Amino acid sequence: MLIKLEPDRSDIPTHRNGARAEDKMANLKNEPASINSIAELLATAKAMELEAIESYEALARHMRNRKPELVSVFQRLATEEREHLASVEAWRGQAEVASEGIPLMSEEVFDEEGMDLADPELVSAYRAFSVAVRNEERAFLFWIYISAHAPTGEIAQAAERMAREELGHMSTLRRERRLAFHADRKIGASRAISIARIEQLLEISLQRLVGHDHSSAEKLAVLAQQARERAVKLGDRTLDFDRPANLASMSATALTEVLLDFHLVAAERSSDEQDRIRAQLFAGQLVATLLALRDGTAPEPESSDRRA
């Protein structure tokens, strides 16, 4: 099973045969160099997990005196990363890699986003999990990029496996982020909303952005087309929606967040292999959409005339 983001329809390549020289990593300032062996790939994965562990442990120490209730949050994040590291080590043993490879140093995959410098009073559990989610998004895209530019099929498949792992981590952290958000917020009455309808609203939002950001018009049009196709394929599936705000007034970014959460959960819970593959494909498309929207410079237009 492979995670693919349809290389002909996105700036984020997912297979080495579909890679283009001008492809750029969303949300990473520098393109990573190529990984040329399984040993190098596993060494890079290990280095990334170790960096995350060290950073989360440092943040736990930073919070200890002023915000002790957040110490456990960062300790949990560090524990998650240690489990990821154990998986990498187990894989290395199964692969019977003879020697330790030299890790590829990838800048800015892990980013504390200033939490190490911020006054602890300004940091919340929601912010902590939000930063962790964005780190997993960048790690996911890092491995997708490595797969697209891999010199061999074996390395491409190994990088895709790492991308699948990061997608699972992302799902777990997004769930924790939702719990942290609702812990500080009174939740209104929920109602069932058609997932296809949310996809249609996202398509409308993206089409509106096409007219506001000419530099990204082609990319946004592709993302809008993907939303349209997802809406057709999703049929009558629904989501219990508990936000009091009018769904039609939400920005493209917020709609993408809602849909990404839905498809990540669907991929995690599905007992059917084809459904799981489809949900992972949709989640991958939405990660690309989310990062494209974050990178955009044009303001999202008003959407008050839409109706849920």
The CB-side HSE value for 164 (13 A sphere, CA atoms) comes to 18
Q: What phi and psi, each to the nearest 5 degrees, are found at residue 143?
A: -70, -35
Residue 9 has which token pair?
Answer: 């329809």
| Beta pairing, strands 238-241 & 191-194 | antiparallel
pLDDT score, position 7: 31
Give the closest residue to 197 by CA, choosing from 149, 236, 246, 224: 236
Q: Which CATH architecture has domain 7-183?
A: Up-down Bundle (1.20)
- What's the CA gap between 271 and 267, in Å, rounded? 9
The CB-side HSE value for 132 (13 A sphere, CA atoms) comes to 33
Q: What phi and psi, each to the nearest 5 degrees, are found at residue 12?
A: -105, 105
Burial category of 111 from C-beta neighbours within 10 Å (exposed 0-12, middle 13-18, buried 19 and up): middle
Q: Is the distance from CB of 199 to CB of 259 less than 8 angstroms?
A: yes
User: Which residue type is seen at 236?
Assistant: D
* Radius of gyration, CA atoms only, the chain: 20
**Element of type H or E holding 240:** strand 238-241
The answer to pTM > 0.75 is: no
pLDDT score, position 228: 94
- What's the CA gap between 143 and 147, in Å, rounded? 6
Residue 271 has which token pair?
Answer: 């007992």
The pLDDT tens digits along the chain (308 residues) read: 233 333 322 333 333 333 332 333 335 556 677 788 888 888 888 988 898 888 888 888 887 877 787 788 888 888 988 998 998 888 888 877 666 677 766 555 666 555 555 555 556 777 777 878 888 888 888 888 889 889 999 999 999 988 888 888 888 788 888 887 777 554 444 566 788 888 999 999 999 888 776 677 888 899 999 999 999 988 777 765 555 456 777 888 888 888 888 888 788 777 888 888 988 899 889 988 988 887 763 334 333 333 33
